[in-house]
């Protein structure tokens, strides 16, 4: 990451910044989305008789719904993910340049002007992530609800396979999205089907009908769209400080000691990717428990009052699955975070350079 501030005659054209960022982020989302879907189903299966194995969940979803079943909710996720990342990094860039130019006093960040680059990047990266976390929550809720949902075709397929088999045994052969704990403390049901919107419905009400089919009837819309906000905030606070700090720290040490690594190409790109891999791995591990809890809350279909509090969910998982239950899906998450995290800073620095204009 090129951490030099912009010169006085340079400024970022944010229209270009957002355009380039949108284009560059679109393809990776579609490449890695099937892994995200499997991770969500793995975490929804915690505490049930269904498998949490990545390969078993993957094969079961493809078997019952085909490859399209791995892309449920991808459009919603893309809007939230790209929008959130662009706001996140543009906020980070704006704050960082302001601090480096000695103008942090106006926004209460003057104390960072004397701090190390590692501390500054970690704090500003986390601060910008917190400011955008609320923006992403509704997109996460809807996309994950769609990921664990069953299409009408797969439901009817499972029903018609063998009429002589009891309903309970048939449901075990499908991806279960019903969270019934092995040692019940409480039940949080996430099982639901997505129905098609009739063709004669007014187009202006399609979005309302779409969300109402996902939302439990007894939950207000705003509570449904922002469920898991606290767990998401904890996930952000456990991920981004570790990510930004580890990235900057590793990159600084690689550049400082590159004369000891003469057997490797000493390009900035290689150092940035290496630092991103280390940072992504570290942050994924530190935030894994909160990611599991957040997912369990956001995919819940029905629950009794108070049961979707993050501490209750975490306690339930610990009692039924042990500590390993809080790390379900971490491998799948690593397969997403590490490749994207390794290129994250390098890509956005390129976007920043492409979007920087010199004042005449």
Q: Quick: pLDDT tens for 248-257.
A: 899 888 888 7
| Residue 200 domain boundaries | 10-153+174-358
The strand pairing partners of 356, in sequence order, are: 12
- Measure Cα distances from 300 to 37, 80, 141, 296 in Å: 15, 20, 10, 6
Which CATH number is 341's domain given? 1.50.40.10
Mean pLDDT, rounded, for 140-158:
75
Residue 161 inside a domain? The answer is no
Is residue 5, in this structure, part of any structural domain at all? Answer: no
Task: Write out pLDDT tens, residues 105-136.
Answer: 888 998 988 888 788 888 988 899 898 888 89
Residue 2 lies in a domain: no
288, part of any domain: yes
Examine residue 264 and state whether it is found in any structural domain, yes or no: yes
pLDDT tier, 237 (very low <50, low <70, confident <90, very high otherwise):
very high
pLDDT classification of 171: cutoffs 50, 70, 90:
very low
79 CB-near residues (< 8 Å, 6+ apart): 139
Mean pLDDT of 41-66: 93
Residue 172: predicted pLDDT: 40
Give the whole-number percent of the chain exceeding pLDDT 90.
Answer: 35
Q: Is residue 306 part of a domain?
A: yes
pLDDT digits (tens, 9 = 90+) for 59-110: 999 999 999 999 999 999 999 998 888 888 888 888 888 888 888 888 899 8
Backbone φ and ψ of 61, nearest 5°:
-65, -45
- Region 245-266: mean pLDDT is 78
The H-or-E segment that residue 56 falls in is: helix 54-65
Q: What DSSP character marks residue 196?
A: P
pTM of the model: 0.77
Mean per-residue pLDDT, 141-146? 92
pLDDT in tens, 326-340: 999 999 999 999 888
Report percent pLDDT > 70 for the chain: 74
Spatial contact of 7 and 278, defined as CB atoms under 8 Å apart: no
Give helix 330-354 / helix 268-299 axis angle, nearest 10°.
Answer: 130
Q: Which has the closest alpha carbon to 147: 295, 29, 27? A: 295
**Whole-number pLDDT of residue 308:** 76
- Number of domains into which the chain is organized: 1
Scan for tokens 């919107």, then name that residue.
197
Q: What burial class does residue 178 get, using C-beta atoms within 10 Å of its C-beta: 0-12 exposed, 13-18 middle, 19+ buried?
A: buried
């Amino acid at each position: 990451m090129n951490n030099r501030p912009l010169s006085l005659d340079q400024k970022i054209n944010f229209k270009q910044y957002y355009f380039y960022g949108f284009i560059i982020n679109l393809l990776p989302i579609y490449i890695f989305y099937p892994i995200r879907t499997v991770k969500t189903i793995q975490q929804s299966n915690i505490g049930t008789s269904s498998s949490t194995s990545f390969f078993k969940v993957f094969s079961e979803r493809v078997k019952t719904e085909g490859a399209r079943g791995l892309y449920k909710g991808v459009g919603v996720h893309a809007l939230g993910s790209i929008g959130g990342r662009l706001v996140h990094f543009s906020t980070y860039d704006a704050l960082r340049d302001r601090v480096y130019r000695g103008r942090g006093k106006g926004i209460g960040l003057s104390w960072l002007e004397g701090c190390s680059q590692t501390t500054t990047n970690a704090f500003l990266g986390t601060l910008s992530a917190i400011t955008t976390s609320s923006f992403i929550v509704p997109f996460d809720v809807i996309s994950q609800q769609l990921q664990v949902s069953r299409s009408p075709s797969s439901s009817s397929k499972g029903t018609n396979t063998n009429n002589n088999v009891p309903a309970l045994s048939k449901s075990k052969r499908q991806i279960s999205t019903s969270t019934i704990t092995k040692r019940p403390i409480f039940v949080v049901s996430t099982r639901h089907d997505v129905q098609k919107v009739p063709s004669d419905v007014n187009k202006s009400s399609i979005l309302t009908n779409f969300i109402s089919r996902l939302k439990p009837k007894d939950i207000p819309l705003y509570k449904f769209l922002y469920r898991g906000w606290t767990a998401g905030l904890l996930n952000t606070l456990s991920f981004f400080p570790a990510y930004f700090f580890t990235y900057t720290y590793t990159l600084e040490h690689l550049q400082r000691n590159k004369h000891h690594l003469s057997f490797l190409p000493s390009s900035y790109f290689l150092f940035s990717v290496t630092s991103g891999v280390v940072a992504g791995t570290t942050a994924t591990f530190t935030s894994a428990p909160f990611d599991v809890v957040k997912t369990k809350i956001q995919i819940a279909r029905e629950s009794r009052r108070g049961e979707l509090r993050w501490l209750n969910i975490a306690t339930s998982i610990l009692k039924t699955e042990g500590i390993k239950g809080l790390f379900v899906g971490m491998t799948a998450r690593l397969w997403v975070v590490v490749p994207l995290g390794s290129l994250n800073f390098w890509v956005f620095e390129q976007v920043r350079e492409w979007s920087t204009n010199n004042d005449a």
